[in-house]
Amino acid sequence: IEALIDDKTKAIFFETLTNPSIDVADIAAITAIAKKHGILTIVDNTVATPVLCRPLEHGVDVVVHSASKYTTGQGLAIGGIMVERHGLVDFIKGNARYPQFNEADESYHGLVYVDVPLPLFTLRARLSLLRDLGAVVSPFNSWLFIQGIETLSLRMREHSRNAQIVAEFLESHPMVKKVNYPGLKSNSNYANAQRYFENGMSSGLLSFEVESFEKAKQIVDATKLFSLVVNIGDSKSIITHPASTTHQQLSNEELVACGVPSGLIRLSIGLEASSDLIDDLAQAFGA
Ligand SMILES: *Cc1c(COP(=O)(O)O)cnc(C)c1O
């Protein structure tokens, strides 16, 4: 990461838990590099959610979430959440990397954002981005998000518990080449998950690899309990074959380069009984 930084770098943007390769970022290592170079860190915490991971406590400046996933757990509404740390203005003020916050905004009567005593990123997102682009959440969708947040902590614990059980089943299955789930002791992300996630709970997203594109498609089509859709974070379990759906525009070499081999299957584990999910996967493997 450090080798890629130059005069034009505005931010280091990363995910706490990446989708679909399911890696856990070393947050402290990334924020240390950013501080050394006076650069902002922005992290997408959608998959971990604030229940499992609180990046501000590890030195991140701005946290963003897609609220369209675990927030309602029902895929009901599209929205986003942005949270910034206290005192971000002191870091941005006079920092040559950020003229858009330090110079007068002509479209807002010469307002200089660092001079306003309000949360800086949130203010600018509201005053210019949302005003210009109109991507404002409707009152009804906001209400759905608020309802969903009430049960988020309970659901995230159960998603994590269920995913752990399914991951262990997959790891023991002869047709599975590799399982990507940070809750597994054998996983290279296990130490980071223990360090950054509440009690090492690793959310509901996992992926696993079977021998071929065709075999992966066959398994996905044979499941009965899983919904075959590209969303994640739903209370109902979801199965996706990235190489034939979300990533189908990539060549085989590009798929491997971005950590999505053609035999990779992604699961978003829901709140059903784990034994039912395992039975469904077992029959799909045999199909
Ligand atoms: C879905 C998703 C997004 C995009 O969010 P939308 O609410 O669909 O616009 C961004 N980041 C992650 C990690 C996601 O899963």
pLDDT band at 287 (very low <50, low <70, confident <90, very high): low
pLDDT, residue 258, reads 81
Query: Is the CB of 19 inside a 6 Å radius of any atom of ligand 1?
Result: yes
Task: Please tell me whether residues 160 and 123 are part of one structural domain.
Answer: no
- Check whether 112 has a pLDDT greater than 80: yes
**Would 13 be classed as within a structural domain?**
yes
**Would 195 be classed as within a structural domain?**
yes
Task: Please tell me whether residues 178 and 277 are part of one structural domain.
Answer: yes
CA of 33 relative to ligand 1 center, distance in Å = 26
**Would 85 be classed as within a structural domain?**
yes
Task: Please tell me whether residues 132 and 170 are part of one structural domain.
Answer: no
**For a substitution probing ligand 1, which of 45, 65, 66, 81 has the most ligand atoms within 8 Å of its CB?**
66
Query: Is the CB of 66 inside a 6 Å radius of any atom of ligand 1?
Result: yes
Determine the Cα–Cα distance for residues 219 and 31; give it in Å rounded to an integer. Answer: 40
Query: Is the CB of 135 inside a 6 Å radius of any atom of ligand 1?
Result: no
- Specify the number of domains making up the chain: 2
pLDDT in tens, 14-70: 999 998 789 999 999 999 999 999 999 999 999 999 999 999 999 999 999 999 999
Task: Please tell me whether residues 137 and 157 are part of one structural domain.
Answer: no
**Would 273 be classed as within a structural domain?**
yes
pLDDT, residue 252, reads 85
pLDDT in tens, 214-240: 999 999 999 999 999 988 999 999 999
Task: Please tell me whether residues 19 and 115 are part of one structural domain.
Answer: yes
CA of 201 relative to ligand 1 center, distance in Å = 21
Lowest-pLDDT range of 106-110, 153-157, 172-176, 209-213: 106-110
**Would 3 be classed as within a structural domain?**
no
Whole-number mean pLDDT of the chain? Answer: 95
Task: Please tell me whether residues 179 and 219 are part of one structural domain.
Answer: yes
**Would 267 be classed as within a structural domain?**
yes
Task: Please tell me whether residues 185 and 111 are part of one structural domain.
Answer: no
pLDDT band at 85 (very low <50, low <70, confident <90, very high): very high
Task: Please tell me whether residues 131 and 185 are part of one structural domain.
Answer: no
Residue with the smallest CA separation from ligand 1 atom 15 is 46
CATH of the domain at 248: 3.90.1150.10
Task: Please tell me whether residues 196 and 73 are part of one structural domain.
Answer: no
Residue with the smallest CA separation from ligand 1 atom 2 is 66
**Domain final position from 78, 109, 142:** 142
pLDDT, residue 10, reads 96
- Check whether 194 has a pLDDT greater than 90: yes
CATH of the domain at 86: 3.40.640.10
**Would 213 be classed as within a structural domain?**
yes
Query: Is the CB of 69 inside a 6 Å radius of any atom of ligand 1?
Result: yes
pLDDT in tens, 124-150: 888 888 888 988 899 999 999 999 999
Query: Is the CB of 160 inside a 6 Å radius of any atom of ligand 1?
Result: no
Domain interval for residue 12: 8-142
**Domain final position from 92, 122, 142:** 142
CA of 142 relative to ligand 1 center, distance in Å = 17
**Domain final position from 88, 122, 142:** 142
